[in-house]
Chain A
Amino acid sequence: MLPASAGEAPRALMPQKHAALFETYCLDCHDAATEKGKVNLEDLSFDLGTLQTAELWQKVLNSINSGEMPPEKKPQPTDAEKTAFLEDLSSQLVTARKVLSDTGGQITMRRLNRREYENTIRDLLGVEVDAKDLPADSSSGGFDTNGSSLYLSSDQFEQYLALARKALDAAIVTGPKPEMKTVRIEAEEEANRRIRGIFRGYQKQGYVAWKRWQDSKGKPTTDFGFPDDKEIEFRKLVWDRESPDFADYLSREENLTGAFLTVSSPNPQVGLAIPDDAPAGRYHIRAKIALNRAAKPDPSRTFVEIGFRGDDIESAIDLIDCIKVNAPMNNPEVIETEVALPPLSRPLTVDVGSQTKKKVTLGERVIAFRQRLPNNRDAARFIRRQSTDETGFNIEPALWIDWVEWEGPLLEEWPPASHQAIFFKQPDAEKNDDYAREIVKRFATRAFRTREPTPAFLDQLMGFYASELKAGKPFEEALKKPLSIVLSSPGFLYLAEPVASRESPTLTSRELAVRLSYFLWSAPPDAKLLAAAGKGELDTPAGLTREVNRLLTDERAAEFVSGFTHQWLHMERLDFFNYNYRLYPEFDDSVKMAARQEVYQTILNLIRGNRPLAALLKSDTVVINELLADYYGIDRVRGSQFREVKVPADLPRGGLLGMAAILAMGSDGERSSPVERGAWVMRKLLHNPPPPAPPNVPQLSRHAGKLLPARELFEAHMEEAQCAQCHRKIDPIGYGLEHFNAVGQWRETEYTEIAANNRVRQSKEHPIDDSGTLPDGTAFDGFAELRDAVASHDEAFARGFVEHLIEYALGRPYGFTDQDLADAILAQGAKQNATPRAYILALIQSKAFKHK
């Protein structure tokens, strides 16, 4: 089971000193003779090198953790004994898992994961496909590039076929160039009609009806068309609650020529419907908009959010952009964004055996504009209600829209380049069978990343073309079937690297190009890279370096950065919880999206600028846009693009530990979690991962229902030996970040509350103690010192980064057999300023990367 170089490879060994604990507390029942519960610990090897041994040890760990063993009536180990034992055992079990899952450097051929599939289709056909319906790739842990865990389920082939067909339908064009249109809609048109209608409804069926009933002095409500008293009282209530805001809206002069965007009713969104016959593609979306300074809006309300509308005018939107509005009411400005309009999904159709899609929803092609808000109708209603309770009116609208418009489709050329790449001759070329065969052959060669299809395969493909033609389909249409089969073939779906001979397991230039581009772009190689490969330039260090630098400078490198970083830093946690909109209205979807981008953009910036990796631990700059600058309280950053800015001296930002996304990941949406934050720091920054949280450990609930600061709550971890073994290292790191609330904003005190249904029953402010220690004993007092202390572990951080990079790039778990490789990359990188780019280059130039 141990790797070939067993002499040096680590082994999972339980220190012999713990035999004493066994002897004293366990063997009475679990010796070879008694074997109570069929558990014999006397013969249990202290070498966890086999699956069976590791499993039995896991059982030991679980039963001590859960307090089940030793049984209550029997003598118990001291807390110190227990802690020492559990600490060793849990870390040895982690080692054992790694030893047992070590592939010994074996890379398994992999299929394209969902990201790569989407990118590859875009590259080939110039259209966006949504691979969301394909099974998820990496749910069993590790990266989505790990070949051995990228399965293919039995329905998947048909899904590929259907997806490819859909993409080809969009990519192959036959008609004349679609006309570019500009359609402008005055915001007041729809808004006033709708709002007036609703207002009249409230009035007629509410107030007027109620008044008539009142005046009738005792006639039954049923005479007025209402089932009972309750109903008519309710209508009156709604009138009282809603009418002031509706009347106010309709009375405003500004709403005769435009529309205020209100929080929730009366006018939560201005909609821009793009008609069904508009072709898919890129469109400009614009609005003439102004900021209502009279409302004295706090800065977070001065942004307009643009997105695809949900089910109705109040639902959450599918966010496209969030733009700052500065212009005053007397001089509105035009803001603009670009959107990729998806092909109109057809109402439900069902194929034999393939998965069905949900039907088109009403809002699919309606672009909504609204004031920036938590993306949730309840939140908007809550904010409005707070204001109406206090003042009788909704909060003063911050934004006003004059008109909205769409322009498109934006086409560079016609037919699109991707169409011309398939139909490579002039449009007037003769459409005969030879041309068809050549089209399929060229397409397959491109799809297979320059591997030519065999004649036998081509023959079969042409059979489909022929029968489609025979069925009366036109030339272009008849080719779609064979082409979609190409895109469902293993030659396309798998990144195969066949071995020419046993003696030379080196990748061919072409294979190296493919591995490179899927590593750094999550996409197929472009013509330049293939040309470089063809000329043998990738075989020289200089040529290879040049291409790597080019790839990393290309905008497609963003795919690598987001794909890798998301998984490396476990950023899926950002989506694990809802952030409480009542406590944290500022942490809405726009900020969350920007906060996530900040992490990616920072790393991309380091790569592009070729700066040291350690800047992620501590930095005096941040890479942010206007929205985040507003969130962090940094001035003079304009626009939604990200750029590097200096951190003002008194702000606790700069480095991962000061980023909103990272801090928000360390909470449950309600409260900050020193445990999650501490564990994350150990895993990701200190490269000293604590063992995974064991199941079946009693939950800390002694303090439930009390208003205690997090620190006091978690100090209960120290009371139980099975908790203390890990938490004494984890929690004190997290305490250092306690001045950041659950969404990464700085706070002076910690607020706790007991609330139900948005009503606070009890609340309390606590002073914050943010002193703590790192696992190595370094004490710190507060965030700045914690960040410094962590930053001094830059070598450990770099090792963690490199190990993950190896795993991601080679598509297999990082194993003990990779130790030498990691050492070499780290040494090589250290010589070149320890930049991410240096590490990436060193990895690419290693033998492991160039070998099968």
Chain B
Amino acid sequence: MNTRRHFLSSSSALIALPVLESLGFRRFASAASQTTTPPKRMIFLGFGFGVTKESWYPDKRTVGTDYELPKGLAPLKRHQKDITVIQGLNNKFNNEAHWGSTFYLTGANRYAEPGQSFSNTISADQVAAEVFGKDTRFTSIQLGCENAETGSGHGPGLSLAWNRQGKPVAGLNNPVAAYHRLFADDGTPLEQRQAMLKDQRSILDTVLTDAKSVKRGLTKTDIDKLDEYYQSIRDIETRLSKEEQWLDVPKAKPKDPVEEPPSEVEGVAEVKIMYDLMIAALQADATRVLTYRQPVDTFIRSLGATITAHNMSHYQPGMRMEVSEMRDRKQSELLAGFIDKLKASKEPDGSSLFDHVSLSYGSNIQSIHYLDNCPTVITGGGAGVKHGRHLVMPDPKTPLCNLWLTLLKGSGVDVESHGDSTETIDELWA
């Protein structure tokens, strides 16, 4: 440990030694090298309850580059050349009109497992994280908000992410938590942190001893259940190993410094800060895969609405619809600001973060209780998409997973299929 730390702190950026393959060096190299291409990143934003369909979708008769952004997307006007709006995507299995995020990135069938009333499969971001997460401190980062499940129409889950086993991956549900995970250094000396890791490991060993005695005499399904406990312990072990590898590397600071966010921000301000933290995380190369399950309920309240997000989602002409449209616009405005910052953030080779990011923005819920034509906007240069267009899929039931497959492949992830995907949407690259 000590030698590598020593090596890292003393060597210049240009040395090339046979230790190239060591994890530490690759990390070091990607952060410092002036010549390598910046890495690919993927961002998935989910906004729960759907949009106001009357004023969010571009006119279906105007496809291609020559189309007008309607009211709900108008704040994205300055980026129109760099975004793509897609219509006609859906998750065919989802029958849950209040679940905007549960199957959004997975396309799973909740009844797929006999004898279970709920099951899910891996989400697109986690597929990406398996590849892009190897070289960063955080394999992936999941951001979220308080009371997302029912309050904001996201449905069951802990974030947008679901792991290989189809189990929910926990999220950081407020900016303070996100900031601390990503950037805070608690100043604890290395030896003490090593001791803490060791201690955490022996806690895991201890509970596994008990697990062994609980396991005795259990039936097959019970053992499967207990396996979830084992799996969660294994997950922590994996995380601890990664932490150990990074123990002697201080948390990287982003180019544009971020401060600890105030603890009580909600709604619009909260989304803004989360976007800033995402930019900072990418700048510092802390992670390359991010998801964000955005607040809706506190969002509209911070805009002055006095109804709940669920009330809003059942809009009819009148106040509820006004709130819904106001929310659409504000969200687009924040997204536009996010894109501004992605473009402004320069990579060592002179390109911008924007050029290497694949960003999607949408929900499994279209509007009210409609689950077809999932609202979809994509942007960023990471997946090789030719932007500036409005695409209406010829088949109005094109799997949403076709988009995820396209973005994954376009970003260089070697996958054959994802969820219920049938093929890539090649038109995006054309």
Contact = CB atoms under 8 A, between A and B. Distances in A.
Interface of A: 1, 37, 51, 54-55, 58-59, 66, 97, 100-104, 106, 108-111, 135-136, 139-142, 146-149, 151-158, 161, 311, 348, 350, 352-353, 355-356, 358-359, 361, 376, 378, 453-454, 456-457, 460-461, 463-464, 467, 485, 488-491, 493-494, 496-500, 572, 576-578, 668-669, 692-697, 699, 701, 704-705, 754-757, 813, 852
Given A100-B114, A149-B117, A154-B169, A500 B369 contact: no
A109 B114 contact: no
B324 to A, nearest CB: 13
Contact of A498 (B173, B218, B243, B307): B218
Nearest to A311: B264
Given A1-B114, A578-B308, A157 B97 contact: no
A577 B177 contact: no
A352 B371 contact: no
A358 B174 contact: yes
A37 B118 CA distance: 29
A668 B314 contact: yes
A456 B217 contact: no
B216 A498 contact: yes
Interface stretch (B21-29, B73-81, B129-137, B229-237): B229-237
Contact of A693 (B155, B216, B369): B369
Contacts of B219: 499, 852
A108 B213 contact: no
B346 interface: no
B186 interface: yes
Given A355-B177, A496-B226, 16 more contacts: A55-B93, A101-B115, A106-B115, A109-B225, A153-B232, A352-B200, A359-B264, A456-B209, A460-B206, A496-B222, A498-B218, A695-B94, A695-B371, A697-B369, A704-B318, A852-B219
A461 B206 contact: yes
Contact of B232 (A66, A156, A463): A156
B311 to A, nearest CB: 6
Contacts of B231: 152, 154
B308 to A, nearest CB: 5
Interface stretch (B5-13, B105-113, B384-392): B105-113
A669 to B, nearest CB: 6
A139 B176 contact: no
B263 interface: yes
Contacts of B117: 101, 140-142, 146, 148-149, 813
Given A109-B222, A498-B216, A104 B169 contact: no
A485 B206 contact: yes
Given A149-B117, A494-B226, A705-B318, A352 B196 contact: yes
B95 A356 contact: no
B210 A704 contact: no
B371 A457 contact: no
B228 A578 contact: no
Given A51-B111, A461-B206, A148 B116 contact: yes
Contacts of A66: 372
A705 B317 contact: yes
B180 A356 contact: yes
B309 to A, nearest CB: 10
Contacts of B174: 356, 358
17 contacts: A37-B395, A97-B111, A108-B221, A139-B156, A140-B117, A140-B118, A348-B176, A355-B173, A453-B210, A453-B213, A490-B207, A498-B218, A499-B218, A577-B311, A692-B95, A693-B97, A697-B369
Nearest to A50: B114
A496 B207 contact: no
The 6 closest A-B pairs by CB, nearest first: A498-B217, A154-B235, A140-B118, A109-B222, A155-B170, A139-B156
A interface secondary structure, majority:
loop
B interface secondary structure, majority:
loop
Most buried by A among B93, B158, B214, B226: B214
Contacts of A498: 214, 216-218, 222
B176 A454 contact: no
Contact of B369 (A153, A361, A493, A699): A699
B184 A153 contact: no
A460 to B, nearest CB: 4
B210 A489 contact: yes
A137 to B, nearest CB: 10
Nearest to A452: B213
Contact of B209 (A108, A148, A352, A457): A457
Contacts of A699: 368-369
A318 to B, nearest CB: 15
A101 B232 contact: no
A203 B370 CA distance: 55
A104 B115 contact: yes
A457 B311 CA distance: 52
A109 B218 contact: yes
Given A97-B111, A352-B243, A491 B213 contact: yes
A699 B228 CA distance: 42
Contacts of A490: 207, 210-211, 214, 226, 229
Contacts of B395: 37
Given A161-B203, A358-B263, A494-B229, A696 B370 contact: yes
A758 B115 CA distance: 50
Nearest to B233: A157
Contacts of A493: 229
A491 B370 contact: no
Most buried by B among A54, A103, A157, A757: A157
Contact of B210 (A100, A457, A756): A457
Nearest to A59: B92
B255 interface: no
B236 A157 contact: yes
B209 A460 contact: yes
Contacts of B349: none
B322 interface: yes
B310 A139 contact: no
B306 interface: yes
B369 A491 contact: no
Contact of A756 (B95, B169, B319): B319
Nearest to A697: B369
Contact of B168 (A135, A463, A813): A135
A668 B307 CA distance: 11
Contact of A489 (B207, B239, B314): B207
Given A151-B167, A756-B319, A454 B236 contact: no
Given A110-B225, A352-B243, A152 B232 contact: yes
B97 A695 contact: yes
A523 to B, nearest CB: 20
Nearest to B174: A358
Contacts of A148: 115-117, 221, 225
A695 B311 contact: no
Contacts of B245: none
B225 A350 contact: no
A538 to B, nearest CB: 20
B33 interface: no
Nearest to A99: B114
Contacts of B110: 140
B130 to A, nearest CB: 15
A25 B219 CA distance: 50
B318 A756 contact: yes
A280 to B, nearest CB: 22
A142 B209 CA distance: 33
B205 interface: yes
B318 A754 contact: yes
A58 B177 contact: no
Contacts of B116: 101, 148-149
Most buried by B among A59, A109, A158, A692: A109
B114 A101 contact: yes
B125 interface: no
Given A103-B115, A496-B218, A355 B308 contact: no
Most buried by B among A135, A350, A453, A695: A695
